[in-house]
Amino acid sequence: MQVLSDPATLFTLVAALVVAGAAIGFLAGLFGIGGGAISVPVFFEIFGILGYQPDVAMPLAVGTSLAVIIPTSINSAMGHYKRGTVDTDLLRVWIVPVLVGVLAGAAIARYASPEVFQGVFILVGVVNAAKLLSGGKGWRLREELPSRGVLRLYGAVIGLVSALMGIGGGAVSNLVMTLHGVQIHRAVSTSAGVGVLIAIPGTLGYMAAGYGRPDLPPDAIGFVSLATFALTIPTSLLTTRFGVALAHALSRRALETAFGLFLLLVCIRFAWDMFA
């Protein structure tokens, strides 16, 4: 493509991916998310600059984001696990239903319009941001987690929504846990583990969903761009530890406010794309 023959444009794209990787890793550690809230909009913009239409650029951004989340979420989960704040019992309950939800989301991705992805992202992000920025007052369903049956239903929904949003599930699982009385630091830490459950099957699902399409980049396997993955991962792995350290240094309220503002900014960005 013409942009690839322009050294200045190519350098700018590579630099953007390197910086995005650093932000993804830091956010993965800080908020227990895979960093998809950063990587999806960045990848979407870059694929658009490269000349791909939104119906290709959006699922490609989501699928590649899930691939990037694999190493960052593993790195983040291990960092939080060492601090003893990951709820491994809850993760075991969620393994199967999350997998079912992720595979359903990947199947939908083959046929959904870009507005579906962006709309789901905005809806979930705004609800979560409102809860976090309000301090959670009035945002409590109960003071403890529900039965295993309800938790499994939650897991399927988390997997489905996260696969459509291209995130590691941190924003959604964090909302579910804090609505049921789980303390924010424990919710953030456990959400990092949820990212591992979502990212691996999600990536494979998006590879399969886009496999054989002739309008994808030459480096792509289905809806996953290998070149984008390779340029993003190094810096993301370097910065995850700093996010983990800051998450445990911040107060509960400071962590909630930071997470809420971050989600709100990303939602505004996607809303601008949809309605501008």
pLDDT tens per residue, range 232-253: 888 888 888 888 788 778 786 8
> Residue 31 sits in which domain range?
2-275
Burial of 275 (0-12, 13-18, 19+ CB in 10 A): exposed
pLDDT tens per residue, range 5-20: 566 667 777 887 888 8
Structure tokens at 84: 């003893």
Tally of structural domains, the chain: 1
CB 65 within 8 A of CB 166: yes
Q: How far apart are the first and last CA of the chain?
A: 27
Per-residue pLDDT, 168: 65
pLDDT tens per residue, range 154-187: 999 988 888 877 666 777 888 889 888 888 778 8
Query: Which helix (DSSP H) or strand (DSSP E) does residue 182 occupy?
Result: none
Q: pTM, whole model, 2 decimals? A: 0.74
